[in-house]
Amino acid sequence: EPEVTQTPSHQVTQMGQEVILRCVPISNHLYFYWYRQILGQKVEFLVSFYNNEISEKSEIFDDQFSVERPDGSNFTLKIRSTKLEDSAMYFCASSASTSGPNTGELFFGEGSRLTVL
Amino acid sequence: GNSVTQMEGPVTLSEEAFLTINCTYTATGYPSLFWYVQYPGEGLQLLLKATKADDKGSNKGFEATYRKETTSFHLEKGSVQVSDSAVYFCALRRNTGNQFYFGTGTSLTVIP
């Protein structure tokens, strides 16, 4: 069964360092997303990406964040200069479409846990 | 605004017990509603969904009915199994755009 894969599963970094989280969405999907969950809090939307550009982003997704689809398979989230409060589980997701019989179904990866020290 | 509130956990039940996990929402317009489940060491997986009022989503013995009058989408199962131990997330998607809004998740542990 096709799945979304994420790497690394866990990354520990020092405050101020750059971090890149990687995702391989399901191959025929067109919409890509990043969500995060700070421990004990809600899963929060960061950004959605379609047709090689950001289609929607939340207020969390400030200038420290960027996303890229560098080739036909990878979808990355970069945090330029990490802060302590960036420590969270980051989930990548993809979907085939926002309409049709599978309207809105997101397929999630297992998550990348980021710990900023 | 849009938000989802679900009951706090953790929830511990004995096998074959009845499960209810409450979920209420606030939304503009007419959202679609979802329950996602996360088993240990895995990503979030769609459990069931409902796209309009009075729809009932069901899967693997779980059910939830979209109640517009009470803005609720409570998850129920008549007889839980140990294998149902997981974290359950209620979520909504607006009828425009791609953004999902999730609750905090409710951890369920089923003991034999």
Given an 8 Å threshold on Cβ–Cβ distance, is A110 in contact with B46? no
Q: Work out the minimum CA distance from A60 to partner chain B, whole angstroms.
A: 13
Q: Work out the minimum CA distance from B44 to partner chain A, whole angstroms.
A: 5
Write the CA distances from B95 to B24, B33, B59, B99, integer angstroms.
17, 10, 23, 10
Q: What is the pLDDT of residue B41?
A: 78
pLDDT tens for chain A, 117 residues long, are: 778 999 999 999 999 999 999 999 998 888 899 999 998 788 899 999 988 999 889 999 999 999 999 887 899 999 999 999 999 999 999 988 655 444 567 889 999 999 999
Residue scoring higher pLDDT (B78 or A3): B78
pLDDT beyond 50 at B30? yes
Given an 8 Å threshold on Cβ–Cβ distance, is B43 in contact with A42? no
Give the Cα separation of B78 and B84 in Å (integer).
12
Q: How many CA atoms lie within 13 A of A12 on its CB side?
A: 1
Query: Which of helix, strand or coil describes residue A86?
Result: helix
In this structure, the number of other CB atoms found within 10 A of the CB of residue A81 comes to 12
**Contact residues, chain B, for A41 at CB < 8 Å:** 104
Given an 8 Å threshold on Cβ–Cβ distance, is A108 in contact with B43? yes
Q: What is the pLDDT of residue B75?
A: 98
Out of A37, A105, A110, name the one closest to residue B42 (CB): A110
